[in-house]
Chain A
Amino acid sequence: MIKNGLIFLVLVGFTVILSGLLINFHGSEQLNPLAGHYVQNGASEVGAANLVTAVVVTYRGFDTLGEVTILFITAAIVGFFLKARKEDENRERSLRKTSEILSTASTLLVPTIFMLGVYIFMNGHLTPGGGFQGGAVIATGMVMIIMSRPEVKFDHGIIAWIESTSGVGYVIIGVLGIFLAAGFLDNHVLPIGKFGTILSAGVIPLIYVLIGLKVGSELTNIIGSLKETQNEL
């Protein structure tokens, strides 16, 4: 009874504190100066049709590098703690047979999902989406493979190789920007090209392909490690 009363009091307190925000809220009529600069000069400076990509990869490229690093550390920690023991790897499990519908549908859907993921990160500078989204879509395709064929084993060596190569490639492109263009992660390393075509916006397509491969392999690695620990006990 006292506990419920206290929870009620906390809720009332929050309502009082947050109601001030709600009452004083005015939607902004125009873009603030920074956003206005992006909207006006984004197309001519960066050359990406998708303005979100222009901000994420070029104007705020350093933040994206940080996000990729965070995801890398997460994948490394998960891989470290969920390392499958040798005896678990060889243990035979009695698995329930997957349903006919799932296994048939997955043979049709998995290539399509992979193609959608590759499309999303290759067209990141033209249409909504980008490296993170495309990589996550590819990882969901891998989940579908795991669900339809539980006996399949991942080669962690290849996944780690793709992951580290694309990560190093991303940083190398960023460093090239210091020497060939205006600064770290500037996209003018390659020519800007014709606005709205797939080979435009400098190195943005290249960076997004690398990020897509990196995120896809990292998320696949996390799921694969989790799957392998299911063999324990």
Chain B
Amino acid sequence: MMNMILALSFELIILVLAIIAIHNKSLKIAIIATGVIGLFASVLYLLLAAPDVAMTEASIGSGLTTIIFFYVLNKIRKTND
């Protein structure tokens, strides 16, 4: 029951962060919101008894993709100036 409530609240947080990522004007905030989605999703996978997937999601979803997005953002900004 406790896990169920925790999982549902994580899902709600993920939904809110996804809406922030789409509708926010600042791309930086959108990228960070995407990274935090990955973090919460990995905890959610752990609650759903899939630790293998949780590890991948934590390192790739919230670690590597965030940094790759920031590199690309930096590159686009330089090209547009």
Instruction: Spell out A's residues near B (CB within 8 Å).
Output: 52, 120, 128-130, 132-133, 136-137, 139-140, 143, 147, 219, 222-223, 226-227, 229-230, 232-233
B: number of interface residues (CB 8 Å)? 16
Quick check: A120 and B75 within 8 Å, CB to CB?
Answer: no
Lowest 6 CB-CB distances: which A-B pairs, in order?
A128-B51, A136-B59, A133-B55, A140-B63, A226-B71, A128-B52
B78 interface residue (CB < 8 Å to A): yes
**How far apart are the CA atoms of A93 and B55 in the complex, in Å?**
35
Quick check: B68 and A140 within 8 Å, CB to CB?
Answer: no
**How far apart are the CA atoms of A101 and B34 in the complex, in Å?**
25
Quick check: B59 and A223 within 8 Å, CB to CB?
Answer: no
Quick check: B56 and A136 within 8 Å, CB to CB?
Answer: yes
A-B contact count (CB 8 A): 50
Pick from B52, B64, B67, B68: contact of A129, CB below 8 A: B52
**How far apart are the CA atoms of A175 and B51 in the complex, in Å?**
31
Quick check: A129 and B63 within 8 Å, CB to CB?
Answer: no
**How far apart are the CA atoms of A132 and B60 in the complex, in Å?**
10
**Residues of A contacting B59 in the complex (Cβ-Cβ under 8 angstroms):** 133, 136-137, 139-140
**Residues of A contacting B67 in the complex (Cβ-Cβ under 8 angstroms):** 143, 147, 223
Quick check: A223 and B52 within 8 Å, CB to CB?
Answer: no
Quick check: A233 and B51 within 8 Å, CB to CB?
Answer: no
Quick check: B56 and A132 within 8 Å, CB to CB?
Answer: yes
Quick check: A230 and B51 within 8 Å, CB to CB?
Answer: no
B74 interface residue (CB < 8 Å to A): yes
Name the CB-closest residue of A to B55: A133
**Residues of A contacting B26 in the complex (Cβ-Cβ under 8 angstroms):** none
Name the CB-closest residue of B to A117: B59
Quick check: A226 and B55 within 8 Å, CB to CB?
Answer: no
**How far apart are the CA atoms of A48 and B34 in the complex, in Å?**
35
B79 interface residue (CB < 8 Å to A): yes
Contact with A along B53-65 (1 / 0, CB 8 A): 0011001100110
**How far apart are the CA atoms of A223 and B59 in the complex, in Å?**
14
Quick check: B71 and A230 within 8 Å, CB to CB?
Answer: yes
**How far apart are the CA atoms of A138 and B67 in the complex, in Å?**
15
Name the CB-closest residue of A to B71: A226
Name the CB-closest residue of B to A78: B68
Q: List 6 A-B contacts (CB under 8 A).
A: A128-B55, A130-B52, A133-B55, A136-B56, A140-B63, A223-B68
Quick check: A136 and B71 within 8 Å, CB to CB?
Answer: no
**How far apart are the CA atoms of A52 and B49 in the complex, in Å?**
12
User: Would A136 and B74 be within 8 Å (CB), given that A129-B52, A130-B52, A233-B79 are in contact?
Assistant: no
User: Would A230 and B75 be within 8 Å (CB), given that A128-B52, A133-B55 are in contact?
Assistant: yes
**Residues of A contacting B64 in the complex (Cβ-Cβ under 8 angstroms):** 136, 139-140, 143, 219, 223
**Residues of B contacting A232 in the complex (Cβ-Cβ under 8 angstroms):** 75, 78
**Residues of A contacting B51 in the complex (Cβ-Cβ under 8 angstroms):** 128-129
